[in-house]
Amino acid sequence: MLSSTPWHEKRFRQALSVLGDNVWEFDFQSGHTYFSENIFGFIGYTAEELDADEDLWKKCIHAEDLAMVETIARHYLEGKITQHEMEYRIFHKNGSLKWVMDRGVVIDYDEKGMPLRIIGTQTDISERKRSEQVMAENERRFRDLTQNVPGVIYEWHEYADGTFKFNYVSPRIREFFGLEPDGMDKVVEYIHPEDRERWRTSIEEANANETPWFFEGRLLYPDGSIKWWQGASVLSFKSETTKVYNGIMIDITQNRKLEQVAKEKEEQINLFVKHTPAAIAMFDHELKYLIASDRWYSDYGLVGQKIIGRSHYDVFPEINDIPEWKEHHRLCLAGASIKKEMDHFKRQDGTIDWLSYEIHPWRKSNGEIGGLIMFTEVINDRVKAQRELESLNNQLGSSNKELEQFAYVASHDLQEPLRMVSSFLQLLQKKYAANLDETANKYIHFAVDGSNRMKKLINDLLQFSRVGTQSGEMEGVDLNRIVQQSVAGFQADLDEMGGQVVLEPLPSIMGNAVQLEQLFRNLISNALKYKSERPLAVRIGAMEEEERWIFFVEDNGIGIDEKYFEKIFIIFQRLHNRNEFSGTGIGLALCKKIVERHGGSIWVRSKPGEGSVFYFSVAKTL
């Protein structure tokens, strides 16, 4: 500090120092800058240290600001300026940075008017700079918000005299209404006429109660289009004269459309479920009814009752006594699906409903299980019919058994006396034929013939009754062997009549060998018996299906009229009298019985005059 400074100047400098500013002085003659003690607080170096090193001061100035500071100094030296004010950054000795406001003024001139001395001050303005930055940041944030929030943000002033105005409207108003921010007052004109009254009262109510305002309605644009909007505002400031509201308007047309679509979808589903001709109900996680079909109401006597929102266990308290069902519900809520063909449901009044049902979990869009869906069917009628059928079958089964028993016993026991009749007839013929006249011999011949036929009939009947009574073992049977044996049995007939029997390869199957041979023998015998004028051609083969074998015996015989296709499989039903073709009418009935014992069925395809194909199936697993 120069000692030659006048007294009052000294006092000023002291005063400034007390206020926290640094005072400096530049002497043009010595080219030296003097600093007051306060400089220590600014940059951590004492005035003496700065006095000793001319460049130290410059080193403290932020590199980006140094040029400006040097330019100002040069301008003083060149007499271009007499006064300055600038802001720059300086580094403290400890490395921290601060902003200073540096002011200076020339206070002495030489006789040529060139400056001799400048005196200046440095004020720490770091604090101000910081708040300026904060303000700038706030301003940027506000600008970004108002520009980017998908809605119109506004500030609305209401004055004590009842007038009001929009004090601020964000630029999005252009997108919303095609209006400039100062045209917001016109927005009122866009409010749909049907909403206007509601809109006005909503604002009045909110303002009167000083509660937040919220509104949802439509905007009607001059071109006739409609937008849905939501408005909300709050009272943010209030004085004697003014109330300030901050508000926002957003376009919710898209949401509305989506809501509408969702609503329509929901209605469709509701209608669909309601009218679906099945008992369906949907439950939430607590098993409360969400929706149920009309059929659900009618099947369970719920018509007229309110069940939606109520718990399933509340609607049907009896389920509380069925732990198995509650367990099903728990399992399905954990992700399982359950199906039961038949179950009984004991109702509170003691009646029993037979049900068939399926329970599935349903999932929310996030994949979590939201609850259950139940499909049920009251099958009381079906169960009743099934029971009746079972009992009828049982009855039928036992009477069939009795009948078979009877047929077996009768045919077995009849054989003995018949054998006697035929052997005595044969004796009669042998011993007395010569003594009897022609008529007597003819009678004996008829009697022998009759007893032979009766023998055949009794044998066939015996075989037929045995299929049912003798259970017979099921074993692996090579059908090639069986069929060859059967054909061999007819070799003499075949030799006599000519023609051929073609055997295609046959499989081995599970079955009863004796019965299967009877079956083929009967079919082959019929093919031979009912031959036509043409040379005999028989083909035997098999076709494989997934669960069964189908066998066929094809002939080129006389064929059968379609109307007899069923009848021929009934016992004793014949299409010919014994003068045309001999037979008992038991053969095909026996075949049918054998096939059925092997889990299959028998049928025929034929055309009179062209031949017949007898098909029968045998289940692969018995």
Site residues for ligand ADP per CB under 6 A: 526-527, 530, 555, 557-560, 568, 574-576, 583-589, 612
Min separation Cβ 408 and ligand ADP, Å: 19
Q: Which is nearer to ligand ADP, 299 or 493 (CB)?
A: 493
Min separation Cβ 279 and ligand ADP, Å: 50
| Cα within 13 Å of Cα(544), Cβ side | 7
Q: Which is nearer to ligand ADP, 120 or 611 (CB)?
A: 611
Q: Which is nearer to ligand ADP, 451 or 518 (CB)?
A: 518
Min separation Cβ 558 and ligand ADP, Å: 5
Instruction: Tell me which residue of 480, 492, 557, 482 sits closest to 519, measured CA to CA.
Output: 482
Q: Which is nearer to ligand ADP, 57 or 520 (CB)?
A: 520
Q: Which is nearer to ligand ADP, 124 or 555 (CB)?
A: 555
Q: Which is nearer to ligand ADP, 326 or 529 (CB)?
A: 529
Q: Which three-class secondary structure state does DSSP give residue 314?
A: helix
Distance, in Å, from the CA atom of 77 to the CA atom of 33, rounded to the nearest integer, reads 13
What is the dihedral sign for C-alpha 304, 310, 312, 313? Answer: negative
Q: Which is nearer to ligand ADP, 119 or 536 (CB)?
A: 536
Distance, in Å, from the CA atom of 229 to the CA atom of 253, rounded to the nearest integer, reads 7
CB 274 within 8 A of CB 293: yes
Beta-strand ranges (E) seen in 409-536 are 475-478, 500-503, 508-511
Q: CB within 8 A of 295, min separation 6: which ones? A: 276, 277, 278, 279, 280
Q: Which is nearer to ligand ADP, 166 or 616 (CB)?
A: 616
Indicate the burial class of 26 (C-beta count within 10 angstroms; 0-12, 13-18, 19 or more). buried
Min separation Cβ 564 and ligand ADP, Å: 7
CB 28 within 8 A of CB 112: no
DSSP class of residue 318? G
Min separation Cβ 295 and ligand ADP, Å: 51
Min separation Cβ 376 and ligand ADP, Å: 49
Q: Which is nearer to ligand ADP, 527 or 602 (CB)?
A: 527
Min separation Cβ 464 and ligand ADP, Å: 10
Min separation Cβ 611 and ligand ADP, Å: 8
Q: Which is nearer to ligand ADP, 197 or 561 (CB)?
A: 561
Q: Which is nearer to ligand ADP, 507 or 585 (CB)?
A: 585
Min separation Cβ 590 and ligand ADP, Å: 8
What the block records as the tokens of 248 is: 């926002």
C-alpha distances in Å from residue 246, one per residue of 165, 191, 607: 12, 19, 97
Min separation Cβ 516 and ligand ADP, Å: 17
Q: CB within 8 A of 293, min separation 6: which ones? A: 273, 274, 275, 276, 278, 279, 280, 281
Q: Residue 461: in which H helix or E strand, if any?
A: helix 438-469
Min separation Cβ 570 and ligand ADP, Å: 8
What is the dihedral sign for C-alpha 450, 456, 459, 460? Answer: negative
Instruction: Tell me which residue of 410, 373, 229 sits closest to 290, measured CA to CA.
Output: 373
Q: Which three-class secondary structure state does DSSP give residue 279?
A: strand
Distance, in Å, from the CA atom of 522 to the CA atom of 532, rounded to the nearest integer, reads 18
Min separation Cβ 458 and ligand ADP, Å: 14
CB 316 within 8 A of CB 305: no
Min separation Cβ 583 and ligand ADP, Å: 3
Min separation Cβ 566 and ligand ADP, Å: 11
Distance, in Å, from the CA atom of 269 to the CA atom of 292, rounded to the nearest integer, reads 11
CB 407 within 8 A of CB 415: no
Q: Which is nearer to ligand ADP, 290 or 575 (CB)?
A: 575
Q: Which is nearer to ligand ADP, 312 or 521 (CB)?
A: 521
**Buried/exposed 251-264: b ≥16 CB within 10 Å, e otherwise:** bbeeebeeeeeeee
CA 19 to chain centre: 77
DSSP class of residue 37? T
Q: ∠ at Cα 354 (349, 356), nearest 5°?
A: 135
Distance, in Å, from the CA atom of 301 to the CA atom of 318, rounded to the nearest integer, reads 14
Q: Which is nearer to ligand ADP, 501 or 568 (CB)?
A: 568
What the block records as the tokens of 533 is: 């004028």
